[in-house]
């Protein structure tokens, strides 16, 4: 199944991927980063899968599917010669244990249905013991146990449980799958129909707070729902994606675990949520951040688990063959130990924006920000791995330096605008020094463009963020020159690459190519809008929207060679800039924080042309 054939359901603690043919191929319980109990996504049905659909020798795709209104409740419908049947899949809000509910409903006629379930704990490695108790099926293996309430009798065999049954018009049959720690007593059963009503209501209430009223609202709302689904409700942490090892290069080695909270991705997600009126998420993330990074500034990591754990050691799961043979399958992520200086700017920016949006001050937050700035003061001039987390040699990445400027700029603003205390003169002086150095060392005057790193001739899509973060005004010729150079040199098949990936180029230290990283194309659309080229911006934005799958979801990348989505799915880093670009094009996103460009050209800015 292609990556875009999946839909997402979740309960804000974990999430499952449901295939177009009714197969649940990915589910980690109890948390996003727990071992999967269905891992067919990275192997086959023997690594754990739950299929449910019309009976027959093949497993046909649903005739149509959609989310029920603005929710995460998925409805898949099959038209068959004998009638139409609907399967509603959702994960109710967590009470004590995680539940997955599948309701089969006869829409017309009488349809013969079938189901086949294989539970495999520990990412497909543990075949559990299965027994029947009081009409329920219980599977146990190590620390994990699941209970399945099935409305039809299931037959065991071939390490699976199967059933064939009929559903007539108006009939509703509910399957409930509940996880719990194997040492605990049997979980309390939920009422699936009551839970369905409650889950729908929850989403309705959440969307009721949405402040976005601009164009492309349907795409923006689906992206907001997806971002909310990637939020770990108990702590406020946000995962970059709910999957691991969906390849950036089909059949290749660029397979990473995204089930963690990157400070970069999370702060960008928050900016999108805050912009749409969701301050509660910002409050809860700030509390998560203060707990996660508590301690010495030099110990700050670029990512943590959603509960704040720091050790995310990378491991390869040798028994999983990988998505379309893309090996290795990895869990954990070695990027955790990298130096990525941009995260200081991202954290400072998001805490500043939270204040601008009306969030109450927190003295501990300011103490930590002062510590972070102390670290930036001491280390901003070192080479790092940058936002792309390259596994090649460290460099003086331009984007990292620009974000160090952002860190200082937002610290200065907190003093100027919110009466915080700190060595403002020293910080202003360093902010301006970094600005001058970047303009001197990272700008190629002959080509009229900023470059990826000091002294390099390469371009990099992250340079498109220069006007967005307020480093230079959009009409500055250096910004326009950079946008145009990236258009000329980094675009392939209508989309923007992160940086050139060629065999003789060791930027990221990895073999193989990759698709177009979708965030970069959204940044291009936003940058075009900012420099007044709205028509081109809209054209590119709509080309990107057309890549979304039938239920509005985007992976990390799109590979024009195959016309397919690649990389982890769905990816916050793709949905965030979708929201930002829609806001920029509808003029509801301020181009940079109020107060001008302290380190800018000094010339009076000319506003971008009105459309």
Ligand X SMILES: OC[C@H]1O[C@H](O[C@H]2O[C@H](CO)[C@@H](O)[C@H](O)[C@H]2O)[C@H](O)[C@@H](O)[C@@H]1O
Q: Which residues bind ligand X (CB under 6 A)?
A: 240, 248, 254, 256, 258, 262, 264-265, 333, 335, 387-389, 391, 508, 573
Closest CB to ligand X among residues 107, 501: 501
Which phi and psi (to 5°) does residue 290 adopt?
-65, -35
Closest CB to ligand X among residues 25, 389: 389
Closest CB to ligand X among residues 240, 479: 240
Query: CA-to-CA distance for 534 and 379, rounded, in angstroms?
Result: 39
C-alpha angle 596/601/604, rounded to 5°? 60
Least distance from ligand X to the Cβ atom of residue 267, Å: 11
Least distance from ligand X to the Cβ atom of residue 573, Å: 5
Instruction: Give the up-direction half-sphere exposure of residue 231: CA atoms within 13 A in the CB hemisphere.
Output: 25
Least distance from ligand X to the Cβ atom of residue 254, Å: 6
Least distance from ligand X to the Cβ atom of residue 462, Å: 9
Query: CA-to-CA distance for 24 and 29, rounded, in angstroms?
Result: 14
Beta bridge partners of 593: none
Least distance from ligand X to the Cβ atom of residue 332, Å: 10
Query: CA-to-CA distance for 148 and 141, rounded, in angstroms?
Result: 15
C-alpha angle 139/142/148, rounded to 5°? 20
579-588 burial, b at 16+ Cβ within 10 Å, e below that, comes to bbbbbbbbee
Closest CB to ligand X among residues 144, 385: 385
Beta bridge partners of 180: 145
Q: Are 448 and 455 in contact (CB under 8 A)?
A: no
Least distance from ligand X to the Cβ atom of residue 202, Å: 27
Closest CB to ligand X among residues 256, 352: 256
Question: Is the N-terminal amide bond of 72 cis, ω within 30° of 0?
Answer: no
Least distance from ligand X to the Cβ atom of residue 343, Å: 9
Closest CB to ligand X among residues 391, 447: 391
Query: CA-to-CA distance for 220 and 582, rounded, in angstroms?
Result: 7
Closest CB to ligand X among residues 97, 267: 267
CA nearest 198: which of 78, 72, 385, 54?
72
Closest CB to ligand X among residues 328, 423: 328
Query: CA-to-CA distance for 194 and 174, rounded, in angstroms?
Result: 12
Least distance from ligand X to the Cβ atom of residue 391, Å: 5
Least distance from ligand X to the Cβ atom of residue 498, Å: 7
C-alpha 384 chain-centroid distance: 23
Neighbours of 164 (CB within 10 A): 12
Closest CB to ligand X among residues 130, 507: 507
E strands along 182-339, which residues? 231-232, 237-238, 261-262, 303-304, 315-316, 330-331
C-alpha angle 261/264/266, rounded to 5°? 50
Closest CB to ligand X among residues 458, 536: 458
Least distance from ligand X to the Cβ atom of residue 288, Å: 17
Least distance from ligand X to the Cβ atom of residue 255, Å: 9
- The 8-class DSSP code of residue 142 comes to T
Query: CA-to-CA distance for 396 and 259, rounded, in angstroms?
Result: 28
Least distance from ligand X to the Cβ atom of residue 385, Å: 8
Query: CA-to-CA distance for 338 and 345, rounded, in angstroms?
Result: 16
Closest CB to ligand X among residues 174, 268: 268
Closest CB to ligand X among residues 333, 521: 333
Instruction: Give the CA distances from residue 538 to residues 132, 160, 344, 470, in Å, rounded to whole numbers and listed in that order.
Output: 57, 50, 32, 22
Least distance from ligand X to the Cβ atom of residue 387, Å: 5
Instruction: Give the CA distances from residue 374 to residues 26, 301, 303, 412, in Å, rounded to whole numbers and listed in that order.
Output: 43, 16, 20, 13
Closest CB to ligand X among residues 269, 482: 269
CA nearest 136: which of 171, 90, 67, 186?
186
Closest CB to ligand X among residues 49, 571: 571
Instruction: Give the up-direction half-sphere exposure of residue 424: CA atoms within 13 A in the CB hemisphere.
Output: 11
Least distance from ligand X to the Cβ atom of residue 105, Å: 37
Which phi and psi (to 5°) does residue 206 adopt?
-65, -45
- Burial grade of 88 (CB within 10 A; 0-12, 13-18, 19 or more): buried
Collapsing DSSP to helix, strand or coil, 450 comes out as strand
């Amino acid at each position: 199944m292609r990556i875009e054939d999946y839909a997402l359901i979740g309960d804000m603690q974990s999430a499952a991927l449901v295939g177009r043919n009714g197969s649940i191929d990915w589910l980690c319980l109890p948390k996003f980063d727990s071992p999967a109990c269905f891992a067919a996504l990275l192997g086959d049905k023997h690594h754990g899968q739950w299929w449910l659909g019309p009976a027959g020798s093949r497993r046909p795709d649903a005739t149509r599917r959609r989310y029920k209104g603005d929710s995460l409740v998925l409805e898949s419908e099959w038209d068959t010669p004998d009638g139409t049947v609907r399967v509603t899949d959702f994960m109710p809000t967590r009470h004590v244990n995680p539940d997955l509910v599948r309701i089969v409903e006869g829409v017309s006629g009488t349809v013969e249905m079938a189901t086949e379930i294989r539970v495999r704990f520990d990412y497909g490695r543990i075949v559990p013991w299965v027994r029947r108790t009081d009409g329920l099926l219980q599977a146990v293996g190590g620390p994990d146990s699941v209970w399945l309430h099935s409305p039809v009798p299931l037959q065991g065999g071939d390490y699976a449980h199967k059933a064939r049954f009929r559903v007539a018009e108006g009939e509703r049959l509910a399957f409930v799958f509940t996880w719990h720690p194997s040492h605990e007593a049997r979980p309390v059963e939920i009422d699936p129909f009551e839970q369905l009503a409650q889950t729908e209501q929850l989403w309705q209430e959440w969307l009721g707070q949405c402040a976005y009223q601009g164009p492309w609202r349907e795409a923006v709302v689906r992206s907001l729902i997806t971002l909310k689904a990637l939020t770990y409700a108990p702590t406020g942490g946000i995962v970059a994606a709910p999957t691991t090892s969906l390849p950036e290069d089909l059949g290749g080695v660029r397979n990473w675990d995204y089930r963690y909270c990157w400070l970069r991705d999370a702060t960008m997600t928050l900016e999108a949520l805050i912009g749409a009126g969701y301050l509660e998420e910002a409050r809860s993330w700030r509390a998560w951040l203060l707990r996660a990074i508590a301690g010495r500034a030099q110990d700050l990591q670029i990512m943590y688990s959603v509960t704040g754990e720091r050790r995310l050691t990378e491991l390869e799961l040798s028994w999983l063959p990988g998505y379309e043979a893309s090996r290795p399958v990895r869990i954990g992520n070695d990027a955790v130990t990298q130096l990525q200086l941009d995260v200081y700017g991202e954290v400072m920016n998001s805490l500043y924006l939270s204040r601008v949006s009306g969030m109450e001050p927190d003295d501990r937050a300011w103490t930590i920000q002062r510590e972070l700035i102390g670290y930036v003061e001491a280390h901003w001039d070192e080479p790092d791995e940058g936002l792309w987390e390259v596994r090649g040699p460290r460099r003086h990445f331009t984007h990292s330096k620009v974000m160090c400027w952002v860190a200082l700029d937002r610290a200065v603003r907190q003093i100027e605008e919110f009466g915080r205390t700190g060595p403002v003169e020293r910080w202003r002086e360093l902010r301006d020094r970094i600005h001058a150095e970047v303009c001197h060392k990272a700008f190629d005057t002959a080509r009229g463009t900023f470059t990826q790193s000091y002294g390099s001739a390469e371009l990099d899509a992250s340079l498109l963020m220069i006007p967005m973060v307020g480093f230079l005004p959009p009409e500055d010729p250096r910004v326009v020159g950079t946008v145009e150079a990236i258009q000329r040199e980094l675009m392939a098949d209508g989309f923007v690459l992160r940086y050139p990936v060629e065999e003789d180029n060791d930027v990221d230290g990895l073999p193989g190519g990759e698709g177009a990283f979708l965030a970069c194309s959204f940044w291009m659309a936003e940058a075009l809008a900012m420099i007044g080229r709205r028509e081109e911006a809209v054209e590119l934005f709509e080309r990107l929207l057309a890549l979304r799958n039938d239920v509005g979801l985007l992976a990390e990348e799109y590979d024009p060679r195959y016309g397919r989505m690649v990389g982890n799915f769905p990816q916050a880093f793709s949905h965030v800039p979708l929201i930002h670009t829609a806001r920029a094009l509808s003029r509801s996103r301020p181009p940079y924080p109020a107060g001008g460009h302290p380190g800018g050209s000094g010339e009076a800015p000319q506003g971008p042309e009105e459309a």
